[in-house]
Amino acid sequence: MVSVYHDQGQYQKALECYGRALAGQEKALGGESIGIGPPSPLTTVNNMAGVFEEQGQYEKGLAWYGRALAEREKQLGVDHPHTLTTVHNMALVFDNQGQYEKALEWYRIGWEGEGIGINHLRTQDTIRCLISLHEKTASRTGPDPPDALTCASWSQQLQRMHFRVGTVNSCYNGRQKSGAFCPV
């Protein structure tokens, strides 16, 4: 039910449901925020952060993502896919705030931790975000800032890896307009 509230933009109801779920999950686990399988307090914490982010309450979102990240790193390790998902989500918050240097730093952490291969959906999503970040920063007047240069460098690295960046970029732009996922 909570995902329906979340998807419908009924954020207060979603937060109330997530809060009840989190309290029940932590009670069942003796007050700990551990576990990755359903029901997972860490997933609930991550989802609550997403609700705050979608409302533009970025500081609250970052605080909740920070809680999820700290526990995921402790319980699962820094390179676990769930941990890297939270890292990616934090990068998106900074990106949405226009804090491109911080966004790039967090995308880089996720990118370096993603030993899952170039064809994995999470890797491709990070690539799309980096390309978008490059486009945002490259359009600034004056000399390219370091974040734009780094993103351009990554795009060139991907081309050398025989990855069709143009396809990813056009797919990403199409996805933004249509809201549909576009596999590469």
What sign does the CA torsion over 118, 58, 181, 46 have?
positive
Q: What are 77-131's pLDDT values in tens digits?
A: 888 888 888 999 999 999 999 898 899 888 888 877 666 666 667 777 777 787 7
For residues 41 and 46, what is the distance between their CA atoms, to the nearest angstrom?
9
Output the pLDDT for position 119.
64
For residues 57 and 112, what is the distance between their CA atoms, to the nearest angstrom?
28
Would you report the helix, strand and coil content of the chain in percent, each value rounded to 5?
Answer: 75, 0, 25
CATH for 1-121 is 1.25.40.10
**Full-model pTM:** 0.70
Quick one: which of 86, 121, 123, 87 has its CA closest to 104? 87
Q: Are 34 and 46 in contact (CB under 8 A)?
A: no
Q: Are 82 and 70 in contact (CB under 8 A)?
A: no
According to DSSP, residue 93 is labeled H
For residues 21 and 142, what is the distance between their CA atoms, to the nearest angstrom?
50
Q: What are 13-67's pLDDT values in tens digits?
A: 999 999 998 888 888 877 665 555 556 888 889 999 999 999 999 999 999 999 9
Q: Could you tell me the residue ranges of all domains in the chain? A: 1-121, 133-166
DSSP of 11-44: HHHHHHHHHHHHHHHHHHTTT----SSSS-HHHH
For residues 76 and 145, what is the distance between their CA atoms, to the nearest angstrom?
35
For residues 164 and 9, what is the distance between their CA atoms, to the nearest angstrom?
35
